[in-house]
Structure 1
Amino acid sequence: MRLKGKTVVITGGNKGIGKAIAYRFASEGARIAFLARRPIVEILADMHSRGFDAIAIQTRITSYVSVEKAIKSIIEQWGTIDILVNNAASFSREPMLEMTLEAWHQVLDINLNAAFYCSKAILPYLVKNKNGVILNISSVTAKCGDNEAAPIYTTSKGALTTLTKSLARQLAPYNIRVNAVAPHAIVTQMGSEWTEDKRKQVVSSIPLGRMGEPEEVASSALFLVSDEASFITGETINVNGGYLMD
């Protein structure tokens, strides 16, 4: 088991990519601490039935005070934190001419500020241990923009990718690695809104000729947080079937 004995904190772990990551990490021996705004009773019950060690802390991740309180609660219960997965995200399709200030701030708060808050709250414990990993879930749109997504979505993901690189450089002396995954065309709730014509259009742009599964993103995430990637930091790995090759 690649993550045996590790404590993982994850945001947005109740569905899609985040849920797949939580289950994959748990299957590799990790203890999972969900930071969730609402109760996730069914997920916890299912994980416990599988013999996984998991808890959920009710947290408003757009509030640093709430995040800091949640992190302290996890430390009190499990004594340590080893890995943070910043997965929570908000998506918007509003074009620039129609975008409201409220929508701009909401997406920015969840996609970027929450990742900063969680990282800042956890860092004292990682620095103390002189070991740890932060993984950010970005997007292919961070690298190339997008006509379908609102400007704030691509902007927030681009900033998250840059934050990944900056933290990787600054935290390397403490043996803390920081990486990101940039998915595209993954079968999630976001893609379920597409029409069949839209789905065919997306698939036609992917060299591998199909959509990706959340579990495939989880596999890349597992590699990046494991000791197998011990000499990798500051990287953003594409998981997009060849849509973007850089």
Structure 2
Amino acid sequence: MLTSISGKSVIVTGGSKGIGKGIASVFAKQGAKVMVVARTEKDAVVTVEEIKAAGGTADMFLCDVADWDQVMGMAEYTAKTFGGIDILCANAGIFPQVKMIEMGADDWDQVMSTNLKSSFLCVKACIPYFEKAGKGRVVITSSITGPVTGYPGWAHYGASKAGQLGFIRTAAMELSRYNTTINAVMPGNIMTEGLADLGQDYLDSMANSIPLKRLGSVEDIANAALFFASDEAAYITGQSIIVDGGQILPESLDALGEI
């Protein structure tokens, strides 16, 4: 158990669904005070109520993380509510699938703003609070798509996720003066609400392409984020970890038949 998380103030953007909800729930179970940041009030309310019902501490803030004024409001509200900001989990992201021949400039800009620009804005807004606290932790949710793999229809998504990894390397140096670390988790195929709608045959096919023969859980990603956010990871910064059940390892699908 990473006891250093207990009592810490944590922002989780995109925290009302999917991986973000998993991160919020796992941090709350470790005793953190969690600010669930989302666009949709209904989903945010449900997540906060579930965390409280399980004995955790949580509040919510509705925010477009690509809007600087709203992001500053998020940081101010969190600090006022929880007495400061210790950890930022910049998880918010979108992944609309559209091939380049059909992709418009607005499609590209929307994904870049929500996924990449928001990472910068959220970190920037939290810096004064990290400085005041004397330390801080930032965990970015990137992906294997873009930095390692590609998939038709996700040129903009892949570029945004690769961009996040470029961002954390320089950010790690600049944040060091505030005794703050920044690292990234790179999920593979994770079982979320969106995947559940694709049908069991599709899910089975995806699982069969992974050496561990299962899709990841949101808790798998949350546990990696939890480590990066802990005092135990105080000497790790500007790094990333792939959490994918070995998905990127096979040279081809034929290789899995040899296992």
Q: TM-score, normalised by structure 2?
A: 0.89
Q: Which residue of 2 aligns with 1:32?
A: 34
- How far 1:193 moved relative to its partner? 4.7
| Structure 1 position 143, deviation (Å) | 1.7
**Which residue matches 1:70?**
74
- Stretch deviating more after TM superposition (21-30 or 96-105): 96-105
CA distance in 2, matches of 1:44, 1:195: 29
Per-residue CA deviations over 1:112-145 (Å, capped at 9, x if unaligned) read: 1111111111111112322000000000013224
Query: Bigger CA drift: 167-176 or 129-138?
Result: 167-176
Residue aligned with 2:4, SS? coil
Could you tell me how far 1:103 is from its partner in structure 2? Answer: 1.2
- Paired residues in the alignment total 245
**Which residue number corresponds to residue 17 of structure 1?**
19
Q: Percent identity?
A: 35
**What amino acid is the match of 2:23?**
I
Letter in 2 for 1:136: I
1:122 pairs with one of 97, 107, 126 = 126
Match of 2:256 in 1: none
Alpha-carbon distance in structure 2 between the residues aligned to 1:149 and 1:220: 28
Name the amino acid aligned to 1:88.
A
RMSD: 1.6
1:194 and 1:51 mapped to 2: Cα distance?
33
User: Are residue 7 (structure 1) and residue 15 (structure 2) matched?
Assistant: no
TM-aligned CA deviation for residue 192 of structure 1: 3.0
2:208 aligned partner: 204
* Residue 197 of structure 1: how far off its partner (Å): 5.0
Higher mean C-alpha deviation, range 86-95 or range 67-76? 67-76
Structure 1: which 5+ runs fail to align? none
1:225 corresponds to 2:229: yes
Flag structure 2 segments of 5+ consecutive residues without an equivalent.
Answer: 250-259
Pair 210,49 (structure 1): closer, same or farther in 2 beyond 3 Å: closer
Distance 1:169 1:197 in 2: 45
- 2:158 corresponds to which residue? 154
Which residue pairs with 1:110 in the alignment? Answer: 114
Counterpart-to-counterpart distance in 1, 2:53 and 2:198: 34
Question: Structure 1 CA distance, aligned partners of 2:170 and 2:202?
Answer: 36
Would you say the 8 A contact 1:238–1:244 is kept in 2? no
